[in-house]
């Protein structure tokens, strides 16, 4: 799962296993195997980097990633859902 940002700046958690292909027109359009399309702010290269980082974390196993930050969710809320909400 990776975080992407819709054009209206709403974050979305995306199951990257469902990505069929991406287009840059000039916005990035992600086509999913379900037929759904998402237009996002991130470039295709950024999304590819996040998918690769996510898959690396999966392959590392839990012992090695226990104390490491998750680069695949850069700028996203932490694993408990605590984002940067101004002290809330």
Tens of pLDDT, residue by residue over 13-67, are 999 999 999 999 899 999 999 999 999 999 999 999 999 999 999 998 876 656 6
Q: How many Å apart are CA 71 and CA 56, to the nearest integer?
A: 10
> Does the reported pTM lie above 0.75?
no
Residue whose pair of structure tokens reads 């974390």 in the numeric block: 57
Token code pair at residue 75: 């700028």
Q: Where are the domains of the chain?
A: 2-61
Q: How many Å apart are CA 35 and CA 37, to the nearest integer?
A: 7
Task: Report the chain's C-alpha Rg in angstroms.
Answer: 14
Going by their DSSP bridges, the two strands 2-5 and 28-32 should be labelled as unpaired
* 32: helix, strand or coil: strand
Residue whose pair of structure tokens reads 């998750």 in the numeric block: 70
């Amino acid at each position: 799962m990776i975080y992407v940002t819709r054009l209206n700046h709403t974050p979305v958690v995306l199951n990257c296993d469902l990505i069929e292909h991406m287009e840059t027109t000039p916005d990035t359009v992600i086509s999913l195997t379900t037929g759904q399309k998402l237009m996002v702010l991130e470039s295709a290269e950024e999304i590819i980097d996040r998918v690769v980082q996510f898959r690396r974390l999966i392959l590392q196993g839990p012992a090695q990633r226990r104390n490491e930050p998750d680069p695949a969710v850069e700028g996203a809320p932490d694993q408990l859902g605590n984002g940067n909400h101004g002290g809330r």
